[in-house]
A = this chain, B = another copy of it.
């Protein structure tokens, strides 16, 4: 297990689906920042299942409590521990899956790696694990907003075969994103996506999608070549989210088809700094933020847990037909939006603090 992320803004998450609670310790947050539960709860509410008929119907309230690290509503510079109690702390209807590793799920590998696994609900590979990330991400976002004016907005850009046209990345807001339950700011596409998700659910099936994210106002200079380049840390952060299979920044895979003369982003004057005419680079040059918008896409596979019967084998290799009961999402991308934003915030907050260490007289 490696549950700690970051060098200076450093988070450590804990908790699995059916223990007493899930949470995070945020160490390294600068002191004197105003912070209460109200800064954190909104993103947790966006991550929560049960927000619409498109997502799982469980209603987990997921109230966060600040256990330490603040006094009179301000950070002390000490570790901020955040806890969300699990309401459902007992093994439930996952019980029958104990001896059948669910296809494309972590049951098999957890069992082989640890020789034990949580008897219920997926344990640490459950989506509940992301609560700690989102809670910590809200702290990071506030730090970024106050210290450099960074804004992070993610949205669903595709569901199954439905791809939405790109919004105006310089302007798209969370409010626009949240207008549809599917979290796609393009209305017509959102409706199509909803139909695709509903159809999958009606078929006791699931479907994948892509989340796109833009970080605006990122100051030039963030990223630590060579191994902690900005895009490298973002890639790690995104591929650490459950169900992700891909990451691309700027022109991504499509850019590989272009020639340099087309792909290169020419410099232009933008006020008192240099900017670029195009932004195929996605806001990074040589692993360091350029001052242009940082944008990237994250691929989420269709959820592995489906109601349809699946032919597979149990741990002993005996052929079985598996029909998952219980609660599960037909599509994770709407709920993944705040998770992607949170992980981006954790990466940026850490790199802001690291960049500060270069400042000062030598």
Which one of A68, A281, A311, A356 has the highest number of Cβ atoms from chain B below 10 Å of its Cβ?
A68
| A227 x B274 contact (CB < 8 A) | no
* Cβ-based interface call for A71 (8 A): yes
Chain B residues, Cβ within 8 Å of A281? 104
Chain B residues, Cβ within 8 Å of A299? 248, 252-253, 255-256
Q: What does the 1/0 interface line of A37-61 toward B look like (CB < 8 Å)?
A: 0000000000000000000000000
Identify which of A73-81, A164-172, A173-181, A184-192 touches chain B.
A73-81
How many Å lie between the Cα of A86 and that of B218 in the bound state? 36
CB distance from A13 to the nearest CB of B (A): 6
| B248 x A247 contact (CB < 8 A) | yes
CB distance from A269 to the nearest CB of B (A): 4
In the complex, the chain B residue whose C-beta lies closest to that of A302 is B260
Chain B residues, Cβ within 8 Å of A286? 105-106, 109-110, 125, 242
How many Å lie between the Cα of A238 and that of B160 in the bound state? 26
Chain B residues, Cβ within 8 Å of A265? 103-104
How many Å lie between the Cα of A170 and that of B68 in the bound state? 41
| B106 x A71 contact (CB < 8 A) | no
Q: What does the 1/0 interface line of A8-38 toward B look like (CB < 8 Å)?
A: 1010111110111111010110111100000
Chain B residues, Cβ within 8 Å of A284? 109
Within 8 A of B (CB), among A50-102: 65-72, 74-81, 83, 101
| B252 x A76 contact (CB < 8 A) | no
| A226 x B129 contact (CB < 8 A) | yes
Within 8 A of B (CB), among A216-273: 220-221, 223-229, 231-240, 242, 244-253, 255-261, 263-269
| A227 x B30 contact (CB < 8 A) | no
| Tally of A interface residues using CB under 8 Å | 160
How many Å lie between the Cα of A248 and that of B249 in the bound state? 12
In the complex, the chain B residue whose C-beta lies closest to that of A122 is B286
Which residue in B147, B205, B250 is a CB contact (below 8 Å) of A259? Answer: B205
Chain B residues, Cβ within 8 Å of A246? 246-249, 252-253, 256
Chain B residues, Cβ within 8 Å of A79? 1, 3, 12-15, 124
* Cβ-based interface call for A209 (8 A): yes
Which residue in B25, B161, B256 is a CB contact (below 8 Å) of A158? Answer: B256
Chain B residues, Cβ within 8 Å of A237? 227, 232
* Cβ-based interface call for A198 (8 A): no
Within 8 A of B (CB), among A331-359: 353-359
Q: What does the 1/0 interface line of A136-156 toward B look like (CB < 8 Å)?
A: 000000010011000000000
| A276 x B103 contact (CB < 8 A) | yes
Which one of A1, A18, A72, A354 has the highest number of Cβ atoms from chain B below 10 Å of its Cβ?
A1
Which residue in B227, B250, B287, B353 is a CB contact (below 8 Å) of A106? Answer: B287
| A260 x B21 contact (CB < 8 A) | no
Chain B residues, Cβ within 8 Å of A83? 67, 83
Chain B residues, Cβ within 8 Å of A267? 101, 103, 108, 312-313
How many Å lie between the Cα of A225 and that of B301 in the bound state? 18
| A31 x B116 contact (CB < 8 A) | yes
The verdict on A3 contacting B25 (CB below 8 Å), with A124-B225, A260-B205 known, is: yes
CB distance from A214 to the nearest CB of B (A): 16
How many Å lie between the Cα of A53 and that of B258 in the bound state? 21
In the complex, the chain B residue whose C-beta lies closest to that of A228 is B2
CB distance from A110 to the nearest CB of B (A): 6
Chain B residues, Cβ within 8 Å of A235? 232, 235-236, 238-239, 247
